[in-house]
Amino acid sequence: MIPLRRLWPVVALLLALWGTRIAALEALPLHNDEGLHLTRAIAVWDGHPFWDITDGKIVNHWLIALFYPQHAPVFAARIATVLVALPGLAAAYALARRLAGESGGLLAGAWWLLTPHLFFYERLAQSDVQAGALALVALWGAYRLNVTRRPRDAVLTGLALAAAGLFKISAAPFALSVAIVILLGERLPLRRRISSLLIIAAIGAACLAVPLLYLVLRRGAGFGVALGWVGGSGALFSGAGANLAALAALVAGEKAVIAGPLAAIGWAGLLAVRAGRRRRAALLLAAGLLPLAAILLLARMVEARHFGVVVPTALAQAGAGWGALLGRLPVRVAGLRWVAGALLIGLLAASFVPFAATAYRDAGSLPLPPAMARQYLTDHSAGFGLREAVQALPQTVGAPDAPIIAAMFGDSCRRANFYAAPGYALQCPDYPGTAAVQAALAAGGPVYVLEDALLPGFNPLELGGGLMLVARYTRPGEPADGGSVILWRLDDEVIPSPICLPCEMPR
C-alpha cells in the first residue's frame, strides 16, 4: 500500500494538468487533422473502426469515439488527448522520482505542465503527443520491470508500447528504447531479459496484426502513407540538416531563451545522479535521444507536431536532471534546494502564463513560431473564418436546407460541418466545386457558395447569373474588409442590392 503522503504530489500535478488543459478547450478552431480524426471516430459508430488508417494513426480515434462525437465534437475530440496525457505525466513523475527523488519528480511534472509546446498540442485532437505520452509510460514500465522482475510488468510494458505505436506509428523507435533499458538494466538476469522482450514483441505483433490484416484484405495496401514519411529522396525529402534546422527554429520561435538552456542543463544534470543510479540515468538519456535521432535522420518532412512524440521524455529527463543537481547541494542547506526549485519553476511559469492566458482569451493571437502560426492560425488548414462563417449560416442564409456548396478542399469542408447547425451543412464536392454549383443553379432557386479565397481555382464571376456577396470572414492578420472566407449567393437573375457585384470583385 502506497502511503498517502507519497501520492499527493502526483495527484496535485494531475489535477493541475486537467485544469490547465480543459479551460477554454474549444477556443482554437478545428485544424484539418482534427477534422480527419473526428471523421474517423464517427466512422467507428458506422462499423468501420479502421477507416482510412494508412497514415499510421490506427486507434487514436477510438478514444474520441467513446465520447460520442456526434454531439459536442470539438470537446469530445480534444478531451481524449487530455486523458492520454494524464498517465504520461504520472510516468514522468515516477521516472524522475526514481532517479532523483521527490524534487526530481516534482520538477519533471512542472516542466510538463509549463511547456508551451506540450500545452498547445495537448489541447488538440492530434496523435503525436498522445503517442509520446504512452511511449513514456512504456519506458516507465521497462524501468519498473528491472526492479520487480515480474512477467506482468513485461505485459504492461508491451501494452503501453503497442498503444503508443497504434496511436501513431512514429512511436516505433521507442521499441528500441525499451529494448535498451531492459537489455542494459542492472538487475534482470539474462534469461528474464530475453523472455521479457519476447513477451513485449509478441504483444506488439498481435496488436498490429489486426489492423494490418484489415488493410490488406479491404484495401490491398498497408501503411503506405506512414512509411512514405520515412527517408528516401525527392522533393519532399528535407534531409537531416533541414530537420535539425526545423527543430532549432521551433525552439527559437517559442522564445525559449530561458527554457531551452535550462532544459539542456537538466539533461546534462542526469549524469549528476547518485552513483548507484547513473546507469539508469544514462539509459534514460539514450532512450530519449534514439527516437529524436530517428526523426532528424529519417523523416522526409518534419513539422512542429512531429516532435511531440519525443517531448514528454525530454521533459522527464530535464526534471530528473535538475532534481539530481539540486540534490547535490549540501544537506545543511537542504532548504535551499526547495528555494532553487521554486525559482526554476517560476522562470518556466514566466513564459507559460502569458501564453496560456492568450490561448484561453484570444487564441488567434497566440505567439506561435512562424510555421505553426501559418498551419494553425492563418492558412487554409486552420479554422479561423471558416468556423465563424458556418456558425453564422442560420442568419446569413436564413432558410434551412438551402444548397450551400463549399469551394474548398474536402478536408476543410468536412471539418467545417462539425460547426454546422441542423439543416445548414455544407455540400462537399471535389474542389473547386464549379460543376456542383452549376448543377444546383440548373435545379432552380438561389445557391450559396462558401469559398476559401486562399485557394486558387474558383472564380464565382465565371458562373453567370446574379452574384451577391453576402459576407466575408477574416483570419488572424487579415483586414476587416478583406476576409478570405467568402459567402456568395447566386441566382439565375441579377439581384438588385447595394452589394450585388455582377462585374468585378477584388480578390
| Separation CA 234–CA 466 (nearest Å) | 46
- Banded pLDDT at 3 (limits 50, 70, 90): low
* pLDDT given for residue 118 in this prediction: 93
Confirm if 57 and 68 have CB atoms less than 8 A apart. no
Instruction: State whether 316 and 417 are in the same domain.
Output: no
- The answer to whether the CB of 314 falls within 8 A of the CB of 263 is yes
In terms of domains, do 343 and 466 share one? no
At 231 the pLDDT is 57
Average pLDDT over residues 177-188: 88
Same domain, 262 and 228: yes
Q: Are residues 289 and 326 both part of a single domain?
A: yes
Residue 336 lies in a domain: yes
- Tell me how far apart the alpha carbons of residues 142 and 183 are, in angstroms, rounded to a whole number: 10
Which is more confidently placed, 240 or 92? 92
For residue 313, being part of any structural domain is answered with yes
328 CB-near residues (< 8 Å, 6+ apart): 272
Listed residue (114, 118, 161, 164) closest to 142, CA to CA? 161
Assess if residue 347 is contained within a domain: yes
Q: Which H or E run contains 447?
A: strand 447-452
68 lies in the same domain as 125: yes
Residue 185 · residue 283 · CB < 8 Å: yes
- Would you report the helix, strand and coil content of the chain in percent, each value rounded to 5? 65, 5, 30
Q: What is the dihedral of CA 444, 407, 49, 171, to 10 degrees?
A: 180
Cell numbers standing for residue 130? 498522445
pLDDT at 270: 83
H helix or E strand, kind and range, residue 470: strand 466-473
In a domain, 8, yes or no: no
Same domain for 349 and 466?
Answer: no
Q: Are residues 463 and 435 in the same domain?
A: yes
388 and 352 within one domain: no
In the DSSP assignment, the letter for residue 270 is G
Could you say which of 300, 330, 363 is where a domain stops? 363
Q: Which of 9-18, 139-148, 398-407 has the highest mean pLDDT?
A: 9-18
Number of domains forming the structure of the chain:
2
pLDDT given for residue 316 in this prediction: 93
User: For the purposes of burial, counting CB atoms within 10 Å of the CB of 234, is it exposed (0-12), middle (13-18) or buried (19 or more)?
Assistant: exposed
276 and 308, same domain (yes or no): yes
Residue 441 has pLDDT above 80, yes or no: yes
pLDDT of residue 495 exceeding 70, the answer is no
Q: How many angstroms separate the CA atoms of 322 and 477, rounded? A: 40
| Residue at 96 is within a domain | yes
Nearest CA to 85 among 130, 53, 127, 40?
A: 130
Where in the sequence is the domain holding 201, given as residue range(s)? 33-363
Selected residue with higher pLDDT from 441 and 64: 64
pLDDT at position 303: 83
Percent of the chain with pLDDT over 90: 57
Do 273 and 191 share a structural domain?
yes
What element of type H or E holds 406? Answer: strand 404-407
Judge whether 14 lies within some domain.
no
CA distances 37 to 43, 165, 408, 415, Å, are 10, 16, 19, 10
Quick one: which of 56, 60, 57 has its CA closest to 77?
60
- Percentage of the residues of the chain whose pLDDT score is greater than 70: 89
User: Is residue 463 domain-resident?
Assistant: yes
In this structure, are 234 and 111 located in the same domain? yes
186/277 Cα distance (integer angstroms): 10
Confidence (pTM): 0.91
- Mean pLDDT throughout 405-417? 95
Domain termination site, one of 293, 328, 363: 363
- Is 447:490 a contact under the CB 8 Å cutoff? yes
At residue 34's C-alpha, the angle toward residues 384 and 404, to 5°, is 55
Do residues 66 and 208 both lie within one domain?
yes
pLDDT in tens, 244-296: 887 877 776 665 545 677 888 888 888 777 767 788 888 888 898 999 988 88
Which one of 335, 363, 391 terminates a domain? 363
The alpha carbons of the chain give a radius of gyration, in whole angstroms, of 26
Structure letter (DSSP) for residue 377: I
Helix (H) or strand (E) holding 491: strand 485-491
Does the residue 227 lie in any domain?
yes
Residue in 22, 36, 115 with CA at minimum distance from that of residue 413:
36
Range 228-239 average pLDDT: 55
DSSP string, 19-74: HHHHTTTTSSPPPHHHHHHHHHHHHHHTT-TTTT-TTS--SHHHHHHHT-TTSSHH
| Span of 43-57, 251-265, 338-352 with lowest mean pLDDT | 251-265
